[in-house]
Amino acid sequence: MGNFLNAYTENEVFKKNLFASLDQTGVGQLVQTAIEKGRQTRPDIKLGICGEHGGDPASVKFFHRVG
């Protein structure tokens, strides 16, 4: 993590590493909007995740919930 991010995590400005666990309130809303709009255009679209978020149980649960 960058120098500022360590301080933010240590001081609990961010509860989790944002590069490993999805910010469901902010980025999650963008993801959900993209899913909804993508499915409106192409209902059979295949979607997936990769990287650190794919190994974070909380992120995986979120992605499963939003489709």
Distance CA 32, CA 29 (A): 5
Q: pLDDT by residue (tens digit) across 29-40? A: 999 999 999 999
Q: 2 pLDDT band (50/70/90 cuts)? A: low
Q: Where are the domains of the chain?
A: 19-66
Q: What tokens does 49 get?
A: 């995740």
Tell me the average pLDDT of the chain.
Answer: 86
Chain mean position to CA 15: 14
Q: pLDDT by residue (tens digit) across 36-61? A: 999 999 999 999 988 888 888 999 99
